[in-house]
Amino acid sequence: MQLSLCLARSPLEDVRDVLLAAFGPQRPKARMDPISQLVKSSISHRTLDAVSWAAFLRLQGAFRTWEDLAGAEPDQVLALIDDVTHAPDKARRLPIALRMIQDRIGWLSLSHLRNLTVEQARHELRALPGVGQKVAASVLNFSSLAMRDLVVDSHVHRTAQRLGLVGPGDPTHSYHALMALAPDAWTADDLFELHCLMKHGLGQMLCPHDAPKCGACPLKAQCRRVGLEGATVLPWRPRDG
């Protein structure tokens, strides 16, 4: 009995526990409404957080309501977000996405998504222009919807692959593999915390793309270091106890 309980433990729990001990709790301090989160996440792709936050604040300051943004011309939007990556595409798609929501349900709101399953809500969001796996998950998990979904950005994707938690593939593959490893008992806040620990703690501070600091990493005993030159690829090693 004890053996089967031990085998049932997900490796993601080990990763979470080790990173939690190293970096401390990362619970959400505030949640935006889903439309604000959609606007923020839509302009954030491949852009530094500081740059996308500044662009978001400029949009908030320029438009009295998000309905006004929905009716804006792409050039108006572009002038406010021109320093984010792929700004012309984002400036063109964002008002279209907002108008599609208005057309679909009659007003600009995503509150109805909380009545759907995560899969149904993700499917609906991904039908909007410019909304991929990461933007959809961030609307569902980061916003006041607080749904049980994991945001897999480039840092979470890279570290999950190096650790050997997921196999080869793109971030969408990693998203599905990590969600399959997430214990059923984990809440939206737990998945938010895992994202923060793997992105900000592990991915940005210890395991960046070019120069991972394996010697200082609290996961070095378990890590398979997949894709790193000269690495010894070992099977996943659960924590003792």
The binding site for ligand SF4 (CB under 6 A) comprises 159, 162-163, 202, 206-207, 212-214, 217, 219-220, 223, 225, 228
Angle between helices 34-42 and 133-142 (to 10 degrees): 150
Q: How far is the CB of 30 from ligand SF4 (least distance, A)?
A: 29
With respect to ligand SF4, which residue has the nearer C-beta, 157 or 225?
A: 225
Picking from 51, 88, 75, 80, the residue whose alpha carbon sits closest to that of residue 63 is 80
Q: How far is the CB of 4 from ligand SF4 (least distance, A)?
A: 28
Contact between residue 187 and residue 148 where contact means Cβ atoms under 8 Å apart: yes
Q: How far is the CB of 51 from ligand SF4 (least distance, A)?
A: 26
Contact between residue 134 and residue 41 where contact means Cβ atoms under 8 Å apart: yes
With respect to ligand SF4, which residue has the nearer C-beta, 44 or 161?
A: 161
With respect to ligand SF4, which residue has the nearer C-beta, 51 or 205?
A: 205
With respect to ligand SF4, which residue has the nearer C-beta, 25 or 215?
A: 215
Q: How far is the CB of 6 from ligand SF4 (least distance, A)?
A: 23
Quote the CA–CA distance of 109 and 143 in Å, as a whole number.
12
Q: How far is the CB of 222 from ligand SF4 (least distance, A)?
A: 8
With respect to ligand SF4, which residue has the nearer C-beta, 108 or 228?
A: 228
List the Cα angle 5/9/12 in 5-degree steps: 175
Q: Which residues contact 44 (CB under 8 A, 6 or more apart)?
A: 52, 84, 135, 138
Q: How many CA atoms lie within 13 A of 70 on its CB side?
A: 16
